[in-house]
Structure formats: structure tokens, C-alpha cells
Amino acid sequence: MTDASTIYALSSAPGRAGVAVIRLSGPAARDALARMVKGPPKPRYAAFRTVRHPTTGEALDGAVVIWFEASSSETGEDVVEFQIHGSRAAIAAVLGALGEIAGCRLAEPGEFVRRAFENGKLDLAQVEGLADFVEAETEAQRRQALTQVGGVLSKLYDGWRTRLIEIAALTEAAIDFADEGDVSASSLAEARKRASVLAAEIAIHLDDKHRGEIVREGFRVALLGAPNAGKSSLLNALARRDAAIVSAEAGTTRDVIEVRLDLAGLPVIVSDTAGIREAASDIEREGIRRSLVAAREADLIIWLTETDDSNLPCGISRETSLVIRSKADLAPDSRSGGFAVSAVTGEGLDRLIEGITQRAKQVVGDRTDPVLTQARHRQSLEDAVRDIETFLNEDSAAIELRAEDVRRAAHAIGRITGRVDVEDVLDQIFSRFCIGK
């Protein structure tokens, strides 16, 4: 690392709490501990100590103190943790004291994790999994992120990259022994055989219906229908709060309003949209345009109608839709055998929630094999497959070019875990973290 400073930050949530954690990482961490605590504990042992100002010696707080040597820390540097009382005054006092120690500075967002990456404690795929784990809101997101932090995806992608390097070696051998026809031909044939198998494996991994990304970002549900079909009322009933304005005036909803739900551990995003009709104004036309965009991006469309008509508008597939008769409390004697709900009485809401949950489970599936979770990973793998297919399908006589195809494929997969130069994506990845992470 080029930055030899020691960084510090509040690593627990900001605000008042029972306990707050302040962390340091860097070459001056051990010296800072010695200056602020009398009798520092042994590495990896927790001890209760009085934390003092490094210059005045004033007692700042009583704290549980732990320090880790670089070889066994999560950043690959000496790390110190002060577990102090969580009052704003105590936090400010300890942070202020650390700021007066030469070589110590406040950490930037994601800097602790970035140092862990740069010191080989985590690869980029694990870093992204850690970011997802911190942001996880549902059980499915937690499980998926924890799997990625554990290195399951990294192991898969590193294995593919290793196989590509072996294929590259066989191709290079075909170049080196070009004057020995049999050796060159057999080496290239083996390389093509292995590349074909690998391309098929990656293609299967890519053909996953985006289920990992859906778990990470949320299963999207769009409420569509004519004006006053009950979309906003249904959104409020599902959210159990007044998320959208409800009015008898047609065209009240002009923009897409979203609420996030946790259904059986799956993240679900429900969007209320403007009513579909011939718009009377530019503002309403824009609202309808946004409704259609939400419909195109949705994993499930719920079409609300006040009648027994179960027909869907042109362009909406029944495979990705549910037709719901709304306002069931106003027409309790309807002979429709369809699905009816009432946001007023709650009739049909449990059934609707179960229907949404089952659709989400069908899309996500219950497979336990590693799944793609990031658009960045998908793009890199698509690049790799394209390069492998070029290797397999283009002129094999231009063997130097075919060797370059394999190298490009290995480079593309290496970008996922950071096994190659990926400076262009580092800032974007680490900026997702809070200051103390």
C-alpha cells in the first residue's frame, strides 16, 4: 500500500447506543493503544481498560479493548478496537483524541475493506458480498451474501480462470512446437476440447434467469390498471402504512411509488403506478410512460380491475401477470370465480401475498449452487464466453490470435475477483461502504 497512515473510525452505527466500536488499522495502531491504555492486553485477548487522552492523560471512558497483529487481523495490518459506551460525548472524545496522534487520520468510506483487499485478505467478489451482507434486509439476501463472502463464487471463478490458463499453455505449446506437426496438432486439439467444455459450463451459469440478482435487488411487482382501480389503496394495504395518496379523483398518482416488503425471507418491491388511459395532460402522459417502464422492468404485473373481466391489455403476458378484481367490498355478490381483494376489509390480501410469494420463489428457485449476483460479474463472464467462442470458431491457423483469445478470456474472469488490474472498478465498489467499514 502506498498510504502508510493509520486510519480510525466509528465502526458501529452512529447515534446513541449501549456500546460503540471504534476501530484503528495501520502501522501506528499499536502505538496509539499504548498511549491511550495502560497495560495493553495480549493480542486477540479482550480486556477492560480505562481509555485516556494520549496527551493530557485525562480519563475518557472505560472500554473493552482488543488488538490484533497484522498477520491475524481482517485488514492485514495491526488493528485495535475500543468498545466504549455509546454516548455521543464518549464517541466524540475518543475520536478527537485519536485525531491528535501523529500518523492517524479519519478513514474514508470503505477504506478498512479496501486495505483488506489490497493486503490479500479478501478478493473483489468477497468484498462485494460483504457490502451486500451489510445491506441485507431479508433472510434470502443474508444467505446469498454470506455465501459470497465465504468465497464460494471466488472459488468457482478462480477455477475457471485456472483452466483457461491451462488452455492458454496448451495453445502456446502448439505455437512452440509448430515445426513438429503431430505435437502441435494434438496440443491445439486438447486446448479446443477443454475450451468447449468450459464454455458450456459458463453458459449454464449465465442462463440463470437473473435469480441471484433478483435476490440481491428485489423481486419487482408492478400494480397496473385503469385510474381509480384501487392500486394506491392496495399498495397501502400491503405496506401497512399510507405510502401513497388515495383519492377518488382520477389521475391522482402521477409518479411510480415503491415500497419494500419481506415475504418469506425474499425481498419484494411493489410499485404503485399511474392509471392507464388516454392522458389529459403532459404530466399525466409522463406518469403513464413511467408506469409502462415499471411494467417492462417488473418480474410480476398485478392488473387491477373493478369488473369480472379477466382479459389483459395488449402487450402484457399472462405468464408474468395476475389479474385481480379490486374493491371486493363494493361488489360482494360478484359471480366471478377469479381473484378478488379489498383494501378496506382485507379480503383476499393473504391470498394475494401468498400468490406473490410463490411467484417470487418460482423465479428465485431453491438451487444451492453458486449464482451470479452482480451485473459486473455477468458482463465479465459474457466477455469470457465470447472470447472462448472466438477461439473455437475462428481460423485455427492464426494460432497466435487464438492464443490471445484465451488470454483475453482469462483476463475477463480475473476481473471478477481482482486477479488482474482492476483499478477502474475499485473506487465504485468501495464507495458503497460506510466510513467505519
Beta strands 219-225 and 300-305: pairing type? Answer: parallel
Q: pLDDT per residue over 321-338, tens digit each? A: 888 888 787 765 554 445
Residues 157 and 44 in one domain: no
- Mean pLDDT score, 280-291: 67
pLDDT at site 155: 95
Q: Are 167 and 197 in contact (CB under 8 A)?
A: no
117 domain-assigned:
no
DSSP string, 390-429: HHHHS-TT-HHHHHHHHHHHHHHHHHHHTSS--HHHHHHH
Position with higher pLDDT, 299 vs 178? 299
pLDDT at site 120: 92
Residues 187 and 223 in one domain: no
Residues 381 and 419 in one domain: yes
Residue 405 pLDDT level (bands cut at 50, 70, 90)? very high
Dist CA 383 CA 373 (whole Å)? 17
Enumerate the H helices of 298-374 as residue ranges.
349-364
CATH number at residue 82: 3.30.1360.120
Share of the chain above pLDDT 90, in %: 56
Residues 55 and 171 in one domain: no
Q: Which domain holds residue 416?
A: 126-208+372-430
Q: Are 298 and 278 in contact (CB under 8 A)?
A: no
Q: Is the pLDDT of residue 271 over 70?
A: yes
Name the DSSP class of 370. -
All cell numbers assigned to 298: 417488473
Q: Are 296 and 280 in contact (CB under 8 A)?
A: no
pLDDT at site 330: 76
Of 313, 340, 364, the one marking the end of a domain is: 364
Residues 425 and 353 in one domain: no
115 domain-assigned:
no
CATH number at residue 413: 1.20.120.430
Position with higher pLDDT, 263 vs 365? 263
114 domain-assigned:
no
Dist CA 429 CA 34 (whole Å)? 34
Whats the size of the chain, residue-wise?
437
Residues 235 and 337 in one domain: yes
Dist CA 212 CA 266 (whole Å)? 11
Q: Which of 218-222, 248-252, 258-262, 378-382 has the lowest mean pLDDT?
A: 248-252
pLDDT at site 230: 81
120 domain-assigned:
no
213 domain-assigned:
no
pLDDT at site 186: 87
Task: Find how far residue 126's CA is from the centre of its chain.
Answer: 11
Give the chain's mean pLDDT.
Answer: 86
pLDDT at site 431: 66
136 domain-assigned:
yes
pLDDT at site 116: 94
- Mean pLDDT score, 285-307: 79
Residues 142 and 169 in one domain: yes
pLDDT at site 278: 59
Among the ranges 251-255, 297-301, 378-382, 400-404, which has the highest mean pLDDT value? 378-382
Of 342, 364, 386, the one marking the end of a domain is: 364
Q: Which residue has the cell 497512515?
A: 5
CATH number at residue 323: 3.40.50.300
Residues 264 and 354 in one domain: yes
Q: Are 133 and 146 in contact (CB under 8 A)?
A: yes
Q: What's the total number of domains in the chain?
A: 3
Residues 22 and 158 in one domain: no
Residues 227 and 354 in one domain: yes
Residues 224 and 338 in one domain: yes
Dist CA 198 CA 208 (whole Å)? 17
Residues 233 and 328 in one domain: yes
